[in-house]
Structure 1
Amino acid sequence: MDNKRYVDKYYLTDVDAFPDSIYCHHAMMGEVIQEHSHQKGQFLYTEGGMVFLRTREKSYYLPARHYIWIPPEVEHSIHPSNPEVIMRNLYFPVFDTDTDFYNKVNIYPVNDLLIELIMFTNRWNGNIFPSEEAKFAIAKAFKLILPELSHTELPLALPYPKHPLLKEVVTFLEKKMADNLHIKAVATNFDISDRTLSRLFQRELNMTFIQYYTQLRMLTALKLLLDSGLSIHEVAIQVGYTSLPTFSNTFNKIIGVRPTEYVKNKKLLL
């Protein structure tokens, strides 16, 4: 079966074919899944690599042992780090009991209990209807329990710059990450004042230069630790850190675990 036809059929027809059903889908991703939306909210957990998910406003980095919640009607595309990444999806209709938790795109770490529940869903595929009372009750409980198991929102996302100059600046930062750039040096390179550049970041992205740059470096480090085979020290240098303790502390602050712990558990996470 042609992969694109399969993806289109799956996303545009199967998920929303029955408004009251909970739809379950486990599959190898293969290629990029182009921009689309659903009438149902989506729980997405992946294995075998990192996934990049793009909405109209932000680019999200979904690493192993984390899940992303995507509310209904949010336009998004999905980009796997490699073709063998496995998606584990549950699509839920809106329930009267839904809280504000379900209205935001967010990434959360997955604890052992949620891992067990995710693996339990592996026996399901396709629609689960309300008439299937036992199965539907378990699937619905999966959604209802998410806020109780997801207290820590992780800032694994970067906003898209729309300003032409800021787009160039961000591209420059991505290419020169190993140089540990400061705002004055970046501003000088683009022949503007650092004050002007600072205001541009704050106005356009609602973040300071250092907030954006730090998150960019840590998200890049996360991908390198997962996919590149580089050592922690080599990754630190790649993203501009000469001090390993400083890199480790910053990684822990942004990602929620230290790089040593992440690498130690890497095989389990995949």
Structure 2
Amino acid sequence: MSDNLFVDKYYITEVDSFEDSIYCHHAMMGENYISEHSHKKGQFLYTEGGIVFLRTDEKSYFLPARHYIWIPGGVRHSIHPSSPEVVMRNLYFPRFDTDTAFFDRVNIYPVNDFLIEFIMFTNRWTGNIFPSEEPKFSIAKSFKLILPEISNTELPLALPYPKHEKLKDIVSFLEQRIDENVSFKKLAQEFDLSERTLARLFQRELNMSFIQYYTILRMLTALKLLLDDKLSVNEVAMRVGYSSLPTFSNTFNKIIGVRPSEYVKNRNLLF
């Protein structure tokens, strides 16, 4: 892909050029950070090849594998991929008379196999799709119309994106050793911080405690392993540092809202 891919900042200069068009863009991120911006059109964003954080004025969202995020028009946001090689698949939609309240909220939803096929079908589209371009426009419009029908389960998780350089290193350390169940004491020692200083750092920079952050991180990793790697619940529990399957299941249920076995069963009904 061209190094100049994002020089024109298509998401600022082109997305809203035509009020009634659907805008399509598939490409590598090409950079480590897409600065805060907004557009009149609503955005469907699906990514491949890495983790993506998305920040709005209200929350920071963590977009795991096999999930998409819907961003309503007018919502200011920035995008932080884990690497410039992360592939973004974007569809930007104008408002339609058929739009429901579903499209007024920023939310993350699981992607089933049908939607993945549809996403890959859109890979042949680039730039604006106008209402006069039939049947292409109707097919693209149907993509939006179907989202509320197949997105019944939102992912009730938002995880802060650290700005503090020390905290970035700490979070990276936790991510790389997710199977070790790193203790707070060990983490403080590893980074030569007092436990009080480390606790304050999490609370001040992320507005949550270490335990809250680490638990959500482990559950998000568990989601990826369950959905993307298709591991068993027992294998996933071990991979995210839980030696006790009941403890993992109870924690998953508390955070996600269903037990991991139910989550897999529900996803299998969709996939």
Structure 2 residue aligned with 1:141: 142
Distance in 2 separating the partners of 1:221 and 1:118: 24
Of all paired residues, the percent bearing the same amino acid is 68
**Structure 1's 159 and 100: CA in aligned 2 closer, same or farther, altered over 3 A?**
farther
Matched-pair contact (CA < 8 Å) for 2:6–2:30: no
State the secondary structure of the residue aligned to 1:87: strand
Structure 2 residue aligned with 1:26: 26
**Count of residue pairs brought into register by the alignment:** 240
- Report how far residue 148 of structure 1 moved: 0.5
Structure 2 residue aligned with 1:254: 256
Distance in 2 separating the partners of 1:11 and 1:256: 36
- Is 1:123 aligned to 2:127, yes or no? no
Distance in 1 separating the partners of 2:86 and 2:173: 26
TM-score (norm 1): 0.69
Query: Could you give the per-residue CA deviations for residues 61-84 of structure 1, whole angstroms, max 9, x where no partner exists?
Result: 111211000011111111222332
Distance in 2 separating the partners of 1:7 and 1:257: 45
Bigger shift: residues 171-180 or 58-67: 171-180
Q: 2:240 aligns with which of 231, 236, 239?
A: 236
Query: Could you give the per-residue CA deviations for residues 227-248 of structure 1, whole angstroms, max 9, x where no partner exists?
Result: 9xxx8466433xxx44244225
Structure 2 residue aligned with 1:60: 61
Distance in 2 separating the partners of 1:221 and 1:151: 20
Counterparts of 1:1-270 in structure 2, within 5 Å, are 3=3, 6-35=6-35, 36-158=37-159, 178-179=181-182, 190=196, 214-219=215-220, 232=236, 235-237=239-241, 241-251=242-252, 254=256, 258=260
Matched-pair contact (CA < 8 Å) for 1:158–1:212: yes
Amino acid at match of 1:139: A
Distance in 2 separating the partners of 1:5 and 1:120: 22
Amino acid at match of 1:134: P
Query: Could you give the per-residue CA deviations for residues 108-144 of structure 1, whole angstroms, max 9, x where no partner exists?
Result: 0011221121111111111000111311111111111
Distance in 2 separating the partners of 1:124 and 1:257: 39
Distance in 1 separating the partners of 2:129 and 2:104: 23
Distance in 2 separating the partners of 1:2 and 1:119: 21
Matched-pair contact (CA < 8 Å) for 2:43–2:71: yes
Distance in 1 separating the partners of 2:122 and 2:5: 25
TM-score (norm 2): 0.69
**Structure 1's 33 and 173: CA in aligned 2 closer, same or farther, altered over 3 A?**
closer
**Structure 1's 152 and 6: CA in aligned 2 closer, same or farther, altered over 3 A?**
same
Query: Whose helix proportion is higher, 1 or 2?
Result: 1
Amino acid at match of 1:14: E
Distance in 2 separating the partners of 1:256 and 1:26: 33
| CA RMSD across the alignment | 4.1
- Report how far residue 217 of structure 1 moved: 3.9
Query: Could you give the per-residue CA deviations for residues 199-219 of structure 1, whole angstroms, max 9, x where no partner exists?
Result: xx9xx97x9997666324423
State the secondary structure of the residue aligned to 1:30: coil
- Report how far residue 174 of structure 1 moved: 9.2
Specify every segment of 5 or more residues in structure 1 that has no aligned partner in the other structure, as ranges: 162-167, 182-188, 192-196, 263-268
Distance in 1 separating the partners of 2:121 and 2:89: 11
Distance in 2 separating the partners of 1:215 and 1:8: 36
Query: Could you give the per-residue CA deviations for residues 149-195 of structure 1, whole angstroms, max 9, x where no partner exists?
Result: 1000112313689xxxxxx99x99998894556xxxxxxx659xxxx
**Structure 1's 149 and 4: CA in aligned 2 closer, same or farther, altered over 3 A?**
same
Structure 2 residue aligned with 1:165: none
State the secondary structure of the residue aligned to 2:40: coil
